Amino acid sequence: MDFAARVDRIEPSATVAISNKASELEAEGVDVVDLSVGDIVDFDTPENVKQAAKDALDAGHTGYTPSNGIPELKSAVVDKLHDDGLDQYGTENIVVTPGGKQGLFEVFQTLIDDGDEVVLLDPAWVSYEAMVKLSDGSLKRVDTAQYDFALEPALDDLAEAVSDDTEILVVNSPGNPHGAVYSDEALEGVRDIAVEHDVTVVADEIYKEITYDGVEPTSIGSLEGMEDRTITLNGFSKAYAMTGWRLGYYAAPEELIDQSGKIHGHSVTCAVNFVQHAGVEALENTDEAVEEMRSAFEERRDMLVDLFAEHGKEVPTPEGAFYLMLPVADDDVAWAEEAIETAHVATVPGSAFGTPGWVRLAYANSEDRLREGVERLAEHDLL
Ligand code: PMP
Ligand code: GLU
């Protein structure tokens, strides 16, 4: 077979591939502490959400739905966005997708022409780079690791990176893989740069519900001047422990939806019907379950930061999401390979996110397993 050049431009998703490797080792009988993929290991989808899916199946919600989503879910999404200060969006601005990932893919495909520039704030989630490359775009990357992942000190670098050739700037707060939540001052700085160069901001808010120490992330689309240049993306995977259900959405100006909706209709038709009904329940009736998970993640974050400190490793304290960046040897890929081969602890090298010298640990896992993971790394002289 003669493969298209675009597949040569990208690598398999590091987060997914390493977790597959951990599963393979487990199938061979190895006890792996898998801190690689951002999945929620010890919480299940809330019971009422599962029941809503069962009820929807019983009620015969098994056919195609309107391509951009069922009206009830789009309304519930709009209510949530309004709660976040994003008053510019109505139901006509929403596309419901099978996972947030599909939404991002549609947005990049819709906006990027050959050579158009996309600016990422590094470290940045692995799939942005691949999606930009699949859209024939070019990348500029701004390092925030040097500032312990804060955005405000990186604004000058960002102003230098963004030009009139920039089509998209991706803002992911709370962020994967670093867990930083960007301050209002930083977001206002981003807004000024975006307005100056007429740039569209893709605001990936998939971890918005998971923050610590009372931090409340601002949605950049709610800032003055950003209403019509922000695409706000979210999903159900993280806040509601629904990773395997594949449900997400994006909200954007109608002119974008008219275009991206064509890609959506031709590629997936619609998100799964009964899953969309469960999504309504997730948005409307899960406050307690979400809080239970959020507070457990906060305790685990505290525990991990303390454990690493006991081993002489200072790590930047994440304010959200459920990832932590650990500084390691220069060759983070070799470190991560050694960690999985010898200590049987799976992590993702920072290189995959644009920041060599670090690895990412996902801590949506039980305290026992997290403690076991750190102990194994220490025993194998990896800390
Ligand atoms: N954005 C970020 C930053 C992510 O970490 C992920 C991975 N969960 C996604 C988007 C996509 O998630 P999903 O497709 O499961 O909704
Ligand atoms: N986003 C999660 C992660 O970073 C899940 C896997 C993926 O979609 O990349 O691990």
Neighbours of 94 (CB within 10 A): 24
Q: Which atom of ligand 2 is nearest to the CA of 206?
A: 1
pLDDT recorded at residue 16: 87
CA distances in angstroms from 298 to 18, 211, 322, listed in the order given: 25, 8, 8
Closest-approaching ligand to the CA atom of 238: 1
The separation between CA 377 and the C-alpha centre of its own chain, rounded to angstroms, equals 26
For residue 179, the ligand closest to its alpha carbon is 1
Strand partners, 325: 360
How far, in Å, from the CA of 127 to the mean position of ligand 2? Answer: 8
Indicate which atom in ligand 2 lies nearest the CA of residue 37.
Answer: 10
Residues 6+ apart with CB under 8 A from 217: 173, 174, 181, 182, 205, 208, 211, 320
Task: Give the residue among 310, 313, 335 at the shortest CA–CA distance from 324.
Answer: 313
Binning pLDDT at 50, 70 and 90, where does residue 330 land? confident
Helix, coil or strand: residue 220: helix
Residue 17: pLDDT band by 50, 70, 90 thresholds?
Answer: confident
| CA nearest neighbour of 115 among 136, 129, 101 | 136
Interval between CA 247 and ligand 2 midpoint (Å): 14
**Which residue type occupies 9?**
R
- Cα 382 → chain centroid: 27
Atom number in ligand 2 closest to CA 13: 9
Q: Which atom of ligand 2 is nearest to the CA of 176?
A: 4
What would the pLDDT profile of 260-277 be if each residue is shown by its tens digit? 999 999 999 999 999 999
- Which tokens belong to 10? 């990208």
Domains defined for the chain, CATH in brackets: 5-45+288-379 (3.90.1150.10), 63-284 (3.40.640.10)
Nearest to 36 by CA among 263, 330, 322: 322
- Confidence class for position 19, pLDDT limits 50, 70, 90: confident
pLDDT of 329 higher than 90? no
Yes or no: say if 212 and 320 are a contact pair by the CB < 8 Å rule. Answer: yes
Type of residue found at 77: V
Q: How high is the pLDDT of residue 267? A: 98
The structure tokens 């089509």 sit at 167
Q: Stretch 178-198: mean pLDDT, rounded?
A: 98
Residues above pLDDT 70, as percent of the chain:
100
379 Cα–ligand 1 center, Å: 33
CA 87 – CA 89 distance, rounded (Å): 6
Q: Are 139 and 292 in contact (CB under 8 A)?
A: no
Percent of the chain with pLDDT over 90: 96
Q: What is the pTM of this model?
A: 0.97
What H or E segment, with its residue span, contains residue 59? none
Cβ of 101 below 6 Å from ligand 1: yes
Which of 11, 15, 18, 172 has most ligand 2 atoms within 8 Å of CB, for mutation?
A: 15
How much is the pLDDT for 294?
Answer: 98
Q: What DSSP element (H or E) covers 302?
A: helix 287-310
CB atoms within 10 A of CB 4: 7
Q: Which candidate, 227, 221, 226, places its Cα nearest to that of 205?
A: 221
Find out whether 229 and 194 touch, Cβ atoms under 8 Å: yes
Q: Which of 104, 67, 90 lies closest to 273, judged by CA?
A: 67
- pLDDT for position 200: 98
Q: Which amino acid is at 365?
A: N
124 lines ligand 2 (CB under 6 A): no
Instruction: Give the pLDDT band (50/70/90) at residue 256.
Output: very high
pLDDT tens digits along 69-128: 999 999 999 999 999 999 999 999 999 999 999 999 999 999 999 989 999 999 999 999
Tell me what the mean pLDDT of segment 211-235 comes to: 98
Whole-angstrom CA distances from 205 to 168, 290, 291 are 16, 16, 17
- How confident is the model over 336-355, as pLDDT tens digits? 999 999 999 999 999 999 99
Q: Note the pLDDT tens digit of each residue in 116-132.
A: 999 999 999 999 999 99
